[in-house]
Amino acid sequence: MDVVFRRNKDPAGGKGGTTPPMDTRIPRPARAGSSRDRRRILLLDALHAAGLVVVIVLALFPIYWMVSASFKTDNQLFAVPPVWLWKPTLAHYGTVLHDTNMMGALANSLSIAGLTTLLSLLLGVPAGYGIARYQFRFRRDVWFWFVSNWMIIPVVLVIPYFLIATKLHLLGSRWLLVAIYQTFGVPLAVWLMVDQFRSIPAELEEVARIDGTSVFGAFIRIMVPLALPGVVVSGILVALFAWNELLYAQALIPSLASRTAPVVALTFLGGYEVPWGDVMAAGTLIVLPVLAFAALVSRYLVRGLTLGAIK
Amino acid sequence: MSRQRRTLVPWLFILPGFGFLLLVGLYPLVFTFVTSFERYHLDTIYLGTPFVGFDNYIDSLRSSLFIGAMLRTGFFVLVALPVEMVLGLGIAFLLDRPRNDGLRAFTRVILVLPIATTPVVVGLFGALIFNTQFGVVNYLVGLAGIRPVDWLGSPTLAMVSVFALQVWQWTPFVALVMLATLATIPVEMEDAFFLESNSWLKRLRHIRLPYLIPGLTAAAIFQTAYMIKLFDMIYTLTRGGPGESTDLISLQMERLSFRAFDAGQAAAESVIMLVVTLVLSQLYIRFFYREPEA
Amino acid sequence: MHIRSGSGRSLLAAALSAAFLLGSALSAFAAGEREAASSANDYQGTTITVVGLDRPSYAAAQKLTPQFEQQTGIKVNWAIYPYESTLKEETLNFVSQSQQFDVILTDVVWPGVFGQADWVVPVRHFLDNTALTKPDFDMSDFIPIWLKAFTWGDKLLGIPFDSYSGLLYYNKAMLRDAGFSGPPKTWDDLLNVYAPRLTDRAKGVYAFALQSRRGETQSCDAFARFLWPWGGEFLDPATFQPEVTSASAKAGIEFRQKLLQYMPDGIVNDDHGEVVQLLAQGKVAMITEWSSFYATLVDPSQSKIVNDLGVTTEPAGPSGAVPAFGGFAYMVSSQIPEKLQNASWLFIQWLTSKEMAKPLIENGAVVARISADGDPANQAQYPYLAPMVDSWKTTTDIFRPRFPEWPQLSEITSNWGTQIELGQVTVDQGLQNISDEFKKVLGDAGYYSGTKPKIE
């Protein structure tokens, strides 16, 4: 898992004068011999850097384009060829913040995402632990049942949820969304936490148990702290999906005041003309908090995305 | 500790989550199942919802829209998944190569951004960059001397646009999964192999691939499920159009539910899709994925 | 107010009401004002939610709403939705009885959906309430076809607002440069005489653009428009058997296919906004669009052809002129408390009153009042009014059926209509599919078993 550690260990080091055959594709820094080889390695390094730059540009460009469009006047937006340098305008942000309840919607999204994450962890972390650390009948079925919730197509469940919410007078309640979001939050947390708990040596827990700690004491005081990276990562992913969710939020929150940010973004598309600048400003407002968050926690996120992959 | 107790303890951990999911998830599933045998029109619900046997299932399977959407979704997964895999693996190799450390670290941060971008917003800026008149894609294509094309107005190109945005958003995910997977390959294994062969391709096939399979499978399961559920981005980009050319399964079912208000047939389609996805995920898991063994 | 002899209080009341009657006789207008104000006082502090669209008429209405709020003390919330999700939002509102909306926006094709379900209060209920309805709220001043369009069974369900007809908008300069002194009178001329000379693919200039996006735009603007002028219709009114495979229907849809060569590529993805922009930017010479776009096309910030804009009735087909018919009405939800219903009616009454017609038109709205639309001064100032009024005389109120099954039929029409347009199915096959699927929906609804009355 730890890339840096592995690569820092010079593969040729400690082997004295025995130089392994030259790998021409993947250069190994310690093995550069002749100046021709050195030049070739420099060239490969340059290509490598160029490749990385291409990846960065491709990944960033669409986001950059949206953000830049949100600061352009309509004329600059529609200009062909595109304008690359211009004096930014804040007019679209003014429109979005004035005409829609975007700030309120962002606050709604934030609270829903936060509560969803909290509940998913409360439910998913113990479940992941139970599946990872114990042998019992139906264990594999239980695991599959949890994970298969991730496979359900949300469109399918919108009408049933809508009708039951109507009967229970829950329509428009953020708790309704928080509860429904568990259908993807819990499976995600369970999937990741099973792998996380399995990667922790069993002896650590056994030592604690010998010392007289109860099962739950050991879980809370020993296992959860050890599995913290997985917990953080599950939380981040659940929060992302909850923040981004559209279908349920659209159908189950009728009140304009309690709508979530993605739903509000859609309202710009209804007119005869798409107000591109406003739409891009709204998009930027919705995406920027998540991007900042994602970049801040990227180390955890990278780890989280890969937990399911590594045993 | 008695055997009795041992079997009870895990359930104490599992039950809260299990029970909650059952509570939240079971009712709508049962409802969907029951509705799939009824004539259930949301807008004329006051007329009653008579039992109609398998009519909704027959209608679904005879509906060219549903079959079309299923095939289209299948095709989409079959094309997008390998492309994401190959590109993702390529990026993972770039990130794994031990030079340009700063740039590599920066790239890893940047790669997280597409994944985190709200899909609704991806569709929105997609519509801007693929716009025929002032879209930047047409401008860039124009630099290569190609006439502006109508990306979202032509059935094929609209699908290409959806496909491009999907690949843009989720290839980084595959790349990051593969990067971590590459790190699981013991260094000694690779070093030993260097002694025998210096072919990069051979090394990939014999040494790396076996280690990469679990990561690829996890990414494949995750992405297959995601693409079958794909809705938001297409909804804001093309709404499934032009015609039905980008109508993936979720879009077709949404229109059936909320434009034709035919909840009965939508439920039947849901049940069919549920069976398909469950079979699919079982297959994936059986053939590739190592289930958690205690 | 009851008058009984022998009571001083009653006498006083009688005197007051006599004075009131005298006053109203002297000035009906002023009395109306006062009466509405007095009845509205009871609603001070009430808040109503009005469903609207992101279209010019609602922008105008929103702009003028503070006047109503000041007069009555009723607060108005506008809930603006994209057209394509309005029916969904309103239906979910009714099914869930969430009382989210008070003033219901109804497209000309939804009265059946809302009426059969009793989700809205028939207008008669309010008209009979003299304390609520001004005496000068002249119902006979509404265009008759519009009252007919929003009648379901024998009950009028709403008051028309944002009422359109399809019009031919054209770029005078482009037509002149191509040697035409006026717009085409028939679709045949448009295709055979005008289109070839107005299209220059190399320059990216086209004769025509037809909004064809899947959804109501396809089934109404792009499909029904090529049905009626050719003598086609959706259903046989007597038997309810689909008529879309008739020779005349085929001729119309085949004509549409021929016209495609003179339109920009990708038209099947274009909705109203895109097509209006194509005309406004000088990229196409002619479009057939709703009357509401006049406001957009003469707005210098959105249109480059303000001075070259021509507007006239839609061309005639082989069986005459049947311009597209569409528009909206406001209705009162039957699920809300009486007080809110009354406040909602006060709003509808204000918005659709004779006095408001002119200010609304000036702010870009389209109204269905004869006194405003037919007024020569208005017609001179707003050239879309005369052809619009003319169009309403020749079109049909069942341009699209308005029974509860229409949303399903619309889906079917738009699915196959777009596929025909894209060339993914042949005209014959597409129309046959529409016909088959219509039959199934109408059969399931019970129209063929003889029990259900056949009301379009």
Question: Closest to C415 (Cβ–Cβ): which among B44, B65, B239?
Answer: B65
Task: Examine residue C269 and state whether it is found in any structural domain, yes or no.
Answer: yes
Asked if B254 and A139 come within 8 Å (Cβ–Cβ), the reply is no
Q: CB of B34 within 8 Å of any CB in chain A?
A: no
Residues 6+ apart with CB under 8 A from A184: A149, A150, A238, A241
Asked if C213 and B45 come within 8 Å (Cβ–Cβ), the reply is no
> Is residue C128 located within the same domain as residue C182?
no
Asked if B243 and C270 come within 8 Å (Cβ–Cβ), the reply is no
- Of residues A250 and A34, more confidence is placed in A250
According to DSSP, the β-strands at C309-313 and C159-171 are: antiparallel
Question: Closest to A311 (Cβ–Cβ): which among B103, B214, B257?
Answer: B214
d(C-alpha C250, C-alpha C237), whole Å: 19
Count of CB pairs separated by less than 8 Å, A with C: 57
> Is residue C300 located within the same domain as residue C190?
yes
Q: What Cα–Cα distance (Å) separates residue B115 from each residue in A111, B21, B82, B118, B171?
A: 21, 26, 18, 8, 9
Asked if B17 and A134 come within 8 Å (Cβ–Cβ), the reply is no
**pLDDT surpasses 50 at C433:** yes
Contacting subunits of C (3+ beta carbon pairs below 8 A): A, B
B143, closest residue in chain A (CA to CA): A81
Task: Examine residue C370 and state whether it is found in any structural domain, yes or no.
Answer: yes
d(C-alpha B238, C-alpha C269), whole Å: 8
State the pLDDT confidence band at C11, using cuts at 50, 70 and 90. very low
Residues 6+ apart with CB under 8 A from A209: A215, A218
Q: CB of B136 within 8 Å of any CB in chain A?
A: yes
> Is residue C240 located within the same domain as residue C274?
yes
Q: CB of A251 within 8 Å of any CB in chain C?
A: yes
Q: CB of C273 within 8 Å of any CB in chain A?
A: yes
Asked if A305 and B291 come within 8 Å (Cβ–Cβ), the reply is no
> Is residue C92 located within the same domain as residue C177?
no
What local confidence, expressed as pLDDT, does residue C8 receive?
42
What local confidence, expressed as pLDDT, does residue B6 receive?
58
According to DSSP, the β-strands at C206-209 and C284-290 are: parallel
- Of residues C386 and A34, more confidence is placed in C386
Asked if B104 and A135 come within 8 Å (Cβ–Cβ), the reply is no
Length of chain C: 456
Task: Examine residue C122 and state whether it is found in any structural domain, yes or no.
Answer: yes
Q: CB of C84 within 8 Å of any CB in chain A?
A: yes
Q: What pLDDT, in 10s, does the model give residues C279-306?
A: 999 999 999 999 999 999 999 988 999 9
Q: CB of B12 within 8 Å of any CB in chain A?
A: yes
What local confidence, expressed as pLDDT, does residue A116 receive?
97
Task: Examine residue C8 and state whether it is found in any structural domain, yes or no.
Answer: no
Asked if C422 and B242 come within 8 Å (Cβ–Cβ), the reply is yes
> Is residue C291 located within the same domain as residue C200?
yes
Q: Where are the domains of chain A?
A: 29-93, 96-307
Q: Which residue has the tokens 């922790």?
A: A200
Q: CA of A104, closest CA in chain B: separation in Å? A: 18
Q: What Cα–Cα distance (Å) separates residue C437 from each residue in A262, C238, C413?
A: 35, 19, 9
What local confidence, expressed as pLDDT, does residue C326 receive?
94
What local confidence, expressed as pLDDT, does residue A101 receive?
82
A135 to chain B: which residues are within 8 Å by CB? 294
Residue B279 sits at the vertex; the CA angle it makes with B277 and B284, to the nearest 5 degrees, is 90
* Domain containing residue C385: CATH number: 3.40.190.10
> Is residue C375 located within the same domain as residue C278?
no
Q: What pLDDT, in 10s, does the model give residues C18-65?
A: 444 444 444 444 444 444 555 556 888 899 999 999 888 999 999 999
What local confidence, expressed as pLDDT, does residue C40 receive?
52
Task: Examine residue C222 and state whether it is found in any structural domain, yes or no.
Answer: yes
Average pLDDT over residues A122-148: 90
Task: Examine residue C456 and state whether it is found in any structural domain, yes or no.
Answer: no
> Is residue C152 located within the same domain as residue C216?
no
Question: Closest to B24 (Cβ–Cβ): which among A2, A59, A183?
Answer: A183
d(C-alpha B97, C-alpha B92), whole Å: 9
Task: Examine residue C19 and state whether it is found in any structural domain, yes or no.
Answer: no
Q: What pLDDT, in 10s, does the model give residues C373-392?
A: 999 999 999 999 999 999 99
Domains of chain B: 63-287 (1.10.3720.10)
Asked if B158 and C407 come within 8 Å (Cβ–Cβ), the reply is no
pLDDT > 90: percent of chain C: 79
Task: Examine residue C194 and state whether it is found in any structural domain, yes or no.
Answer: yes
Owning domain of residue C108: 27-157+326-394
Query: Which residues does chain B have with pLDDT short of 70?
Result: 1-6, 188-200, 203, 205-207, 288-294
Average pLDDT over residues C154-175: 96
3-state DSSP call for residue B263? helix
Domain A96-307: CATH superfamily is MetI-like (1.10.3720.10)
Asked if A271 and C54 come within 8 Å (Cβ–Cβ), the reply is yes
Q: What pLDDT, in 10s, does the model give residues A184-219?
A: 999 999 988 988 888 788 787 777 777 777 888 888
B265, closest residue in chain A (CA to CA): A156
Q: Which of residues 68-87 of B touch A (CB under 8 A)?
A: none
According to DSSP, the β-strands at C284-290 and C159-171 are: antiparallel
Q: CB of B126 within 8 Å of any CB in chain A?
A: yes
> Is residue C239 located within the same domain as residue C178?
yes
Q: Which residue has the tokens 């929060």?
A: A239
B290 to chain A: which residues are within 8 Å by CB? 311
> Is residue C111 located within the same domain as residue C128?
yes
> Is residue C311 located within the same domain as residue C424?
yes
Question: Closest to A267 (Cβ–Cβ): which among C56, C80, C293?
Answer: C80
Q: CB of A167 within 8 Å of any CB in chain C?
A: no
How many domains does chain C divide into?
A: 2
> Is residue C180 located within the same domain as residue C128?
no
Q: What pLDDT, in 10s, does the model give residues A41-90?
A: 889 899 999 999 999 999 999 999 999 999 998 888 888 788 888 899 99
> Is residue C235 located within the same domain as residue C151?
no
B108 to chain A: which residues are within 8 Å by CB? 298, 302
Average pLDDT over residues C222-227: 96
d(C-alpha C99, C-alpha C92), whole Å: 10
Contacting subunits of B (3+ beta carbon pairs below 8 A): A, C
What local confidence, expressed as pLDDT, does residue B190 receive?
65
